[in-house]
Chain A
């Protein structure tokens, strides 16, 4: 089937620790994958994306890893801060102008 899913609905992390958010996908035809962050009362905010011909991509404090063999995507956040508390979505784009979203992981940062 065509779906993008996250392994865990919630993640609690200590401030300063690293966070890892996982996502599994089932469509091998996907062109690229995107991570979005959604804070309460706001729309999803683009974090980082990765093309299907890449394995890793780094941004500011974030790294996305793509394992096409097991159809797995992860977002790593370094030195997690209180402002990182939000719902994180992975999304899949098959090059057809639409995004297919996973269910989301709620990240809570403990002080």
Chain B
């Protein structure tokens, strides 16, 4: 079974631009979560989606948004990019239960110049 896939793997943007990242979950998984990983803050939860509904959200500004499609694929968008948004953005999928194991993709490395 294929794992979680994320596209693109690397991205370079400039301040003020916006970016959209994509995640395809493991087949059969209906929950997709997003995390931001930085050297200073570590791994931080952004949001989680199940059946196209956001069930939980972390403490990030409104510039960070996401959505999920009917096929469980998910996208996250960051608008008005700031230098501090440079990070590895990780997507994880699970079956959808509150404590089901989350399996991570390889991440998208975003660099904001």
A→B interface (CB under 8 Å): 31-32, 34, 36, 41-46, 49, 89, 91, 93, 95-104
Contact = CB atoms under 8 A, between A and B. Distances in A.
Contacts of B33: 97-99
B43 interface: yes
B43 A46 contact: no
Interface in B35-60: 35, 42-45, 48, 50, 55-56, 58
Interface stretch (B11-19, B66-74, B79-87, B100-108): B100-108
Interface string B78-100: 00000000000010100000110
A97 B90 contact: no
B21 interface: no
Given A97-B33, A101-B35, 10 more contacts: A36-B104, A43-B90, A45-B104, A89-B43, A91-B43, A95-B99, A97-B31, A97-B55, A97-B98, A99-B35
Contacts of A49: 101
B76 interface: no
